[in-house]
Structure 1
Amino acid sequence: MSTAAANPIAAFFASVWLQILTVWHTGLMFIPWVRPHWGLNDMADQRGRVIVITGGNSGTGYATALAYYSRGARVLILCRSAERAAKAIADLKRGGVANVLSEMEYTPVNEERVGTLEHIPCDLADLHSVDEAARMIAERVDRVDVLFANAGVMGMNGRTKQGYPLQFGTNVLGHQRLMAHLLPLLRTPRPRPARIISLASATHIQAPPGGIDYAGLDSGADRNVWLEYSESKWAIIALAKYVHAHYGPTCKDGVCSVPAPGEIISIAVHPGLVSTNLFMHLQTAKWLSYTFTWLLKLVLCTATIGSLNQIWAAEVADPIARELSGGYVWCFQERGRERVDLEAEAGTAAGETVWAWCEAQAARHE
């Protein structure tokens, strides 16, 4: 047992220190010395690569899609709405970039360099829709180089198609189902290991003790939406650790094993405080956006900046990525500190529990 776990005073101060570090690395724009040290100009040519992005129609997912499309990748955008997907694809082809108010500004892309964009209908709040999306992906491509588990909902009540709390069902159950289906495409032979980049959040540290209130998920009762959001992001980190434990590299003291066939690098990422539709649907945010635009610019980063952490995690050199696998990246492009119940053996155990629970829920609805 660790000293912090055995000594409640040490545990308290360790928790406070984690809170301080988390705020420091949240990605607040008024902390000028915490800034990305890697940008899109550092991104290599992407021709020949297959990229799958959930929620690629808006926010950080859209910015990620633009980065890969403009460098020649084949980009598959998973989105529930055909109308929103068509609008996003049209904007992507025009080089649209969202500002801090989520307004689109256009800069022409290099037509000789661009890749392709495809819409895959997918409602992450419906496990059967996820099944169908995975089937469509398998029909179209013979491998996936990077899966961005990017989509999510925040601060919303409601239920999924199968009756689970909307945030947890969308952010966790839907993504786990998609990951499970796409494992064969992620493990096909290739020169470089595939990667799964999962969008987590610094708010995972606010999850309940143990990370997830499983009884609450099954109760059918109304839940605290902010606690549930934190819970879902804790679970996303746990899922990333599961994939790493089963398919990732073995590293110790900075030395990693020789890549095995079918290896997958799995990294969870905090994007920063980003101005996206995830945030801007909140009434307070709408009022702030029109009343105190200057304040938003001090606090929130654009979707383009918010996408840099996950793109970096997907593109950083293999030796660094393999060391990061199973870990958590915070702002900016730096290995972060997850909550203690997600560290080391505790994190591996958490991943096993979350993955098994998700599999059991899927089996109930086949």
Structure 2
Amino acid sequence: MSHSPATPSNTATQRLLKAARMLFAISAMAGTLAAQAAPRTEPKPDWSTHDMPSQKGRIVLVTGGTSGMGYEDALALTRAGAEVIIAARNAERGREAIANIKQAVPEARVQFETLANLQSVRDLANRLQGRLPRLDVLINNAAIMSPPVRGVSADGYEMQLATNYLGHFALTGLLMPLLRKSDDGRVVSLSSIAAGRAILNFDDLQAERHYDPFAAYSQSKLAILKWSIELQQRSDAAGWGIRSIAAHPGVAVTELIARGPGLDSQFGKQWAVERDRYHSAAQGALPTLYAGTALEAVGGAYYGPTGDNEKRGPLGFAKMPPAAADRSNSATLWQLSERLTGVTYR
């Protein structure tokens, strides 16, 4: 096979293209290294909502904000002056949440949007694109925990993976244009200490062959933690200017147990004995609120309580599970998530 000789102009062009690619790669790497090397200021251990900077003029979306920690997020953010959108499944509970918030904060700017399957995620993103100038903070909070029987979403995916992870992956990707319009766009995603006991089982990700309620829950929370870290890496490399931060509440007293394994289950009975030792929903919300509002919050970081094996205690940097820090399969997870949701990030 013969080859045409390279002309001087072609050679010069090739060199310029090669140099440009190298500069891009070096710039992306420098951004990532700079983010990793940025000072990691420890949060005040007794940080509370009284330490939150004013959120006046900020627009925040909270998924699963009708109860538990999501409700506490919405309440605290409206008190701080933010315009808050609560997105959740149940419209009646949404109306109740908004009424309660407005009773506590008469001047609150808060509204409800329905969020259920992937089509509703797309519909919500389209509505917000049409009416919001930007989105400053997206709090990916909605979750279900360990239902005893395997369920599937309207899109046919295992319910915990769909609710806790895939819906948030899709929503964040679709809202990326609005987040990039913010001067300080943040994506705060809720993981769990359960992620430390999880693996990503790509051979049976949907638990079709074997369903273990808690293993499926743990896997979904590992997935959202790994994705949160990967999102920060990609934001740095592509210049999206987004802070992606993960948080977990430790063990907080919410409705997850009652709505998941049930209070009559072995898990629920043990929980009933121990629940007085743990955080209230308002305390459990603090790592999320810190990540979403504190000037010192670090992109790519993971915040949570630091006492009693991170089940409760002062706010600080949470321990990163080795499976979450391992990036060897992060690209695989991202590509699979794009395929399952039909959403790519731009």
1:304 to 282, 298, 314: 282
1:338 to 313, 320, 329: 320
Q: How far apart are 1:65 and its partner, in Å?
A: 0.1
Q: How far apart are 1:292 and its partner, in Å?
A: 9.5
Q: How far apart are 1:84 and its partner, in Å?
A: 1.0
Give the 3 Å change call, closer, same or farther, for CA 292–172 of structure 1 in structure 2. Answer: closer
1:141 to 128, 132, 142: 132
Q: How far apart are 1:220 and its partner, in Å?
A: 3.0
Q: How far apart are 1:64 and its partner, in Å?
A: 0.3
Give, in whole Å, the separation in 1 of the partners of 2:338 and 2:257: 30
1:359 partner letter: E
SS at match of 2:189: strand
Give, in whole Å, the separation in 2 of the partners of 1:88 and 1:266: 27
2:257–2:268 CA contact under 8 A, matched in 1: no
Match of 2:220 in 1: 232
Give, in whole Å, the separation in 2 of the partners of 1:71 and 1:119: 18
Unaligned runs of 5+ in 1: 1-34, 96-108, 251-259
SS at match of 2:55: coil
Q: How far apart are 1:352 and its partner, in Å?
A: 2.2
Matched, 1:182 2:170: no
Match of 2:111 in 1: 118
SS at match of 1:283: coil
Normalised by the length of structure 2, the TM-score is: 0.77
Match of 1:55 in 2: 64
Q: How far apart are 1:293 and its partner, in Å?
A: 7.1
Matched, 1:64 2:52: no
Moved over 4 A (4+): 285-295
Q: How far apart are 1:139 and its partner, in Å?
A: 1.9
Match of 2:19 in 1: none
Match of 1:152 in 2: 143
Give the 3 Å change call, closer, same or farther, for CA 119–296 of structure 1 in structure 2. Answer: same
1:161 partner letter: A
2:86–2:113 CA contact under 8 A, matched in 1: yes
Matched, 1:167 2:160: yes
Aligned residues: 289
Match of 2:122 in 1: 131
SS at match of 1:221: coil
1:164–1:217 CA contact under 8 A, matched in 2: no
SS at match of 1:46: coil
Unaligned runs of 5+ in 2: 1-43, 306-313
SS at match of 2:143: coil
Q: How far apart are 1:218 and its partner, in Å?
A: 4.7
SS at match of 1:268: strand
CA shift digits 1:136-180 (9 cap, x unpaired): 221221211110000111011300111111001111111100010
1:119 partner letter: F
CA shift digits 1:316-335 (9 cap, x unpaired): 22xx32xx321222214311
2:194 partner letter: T
Matched, 1:268 2:242: no
Match of 2:302 in 1: 328
1:81 to 87, 90, 115: 90
2:118–2:341 CA contact under 8 A, matched in 1: yes
Identity %: 31
2:337 to 341, 354, 358: 358
1:57–1:88 CA contact under 8 A, matched in 2: yes
Q: How far apart are 1:215 and its partner, in Å?
A: 2.2
Give, in whole Å, the separation in 1 of the partners of 2:71 and 2:271: 25
Q: How far apart are 1:80 and its partner, in Å?
A: 1.1
SS at match of 2:205: helix
2:57–2:82 CA contact under 8 A, matched in 1: yes
Give, in whole Å, the separation in 2 of the partners of 1:218 and 1:294: 32
Match of 1:22 in 2: none
Matched, 1:93 2:102: yes
Give, in whole Å, the separation in 2 of the partners of 1:206 and 1:290: 21
Q: How far apart are 1:363 and its partner, in Å?
A: 3.0
Give the 3 Å change call, closer, same or farther, for CA 227–291 of structure 1 in structure 2. Answer: closer
Give, in whole Å, the separation in 2 of the partners of 1:85 and 1:342: 33
1:269–1:310 CA contact under 8 A, matched in 2: yes
Match of 1:99 in 2: none
Match of 2:263 in 1: 284
1:266–1:325 CA contact under 8 A, matched in 2: yes
1:204 partner letter: A
Give the 3 Å change call, closer, same or farther, for CA 118–189 of structure 1 in structure 2. Answer: closer
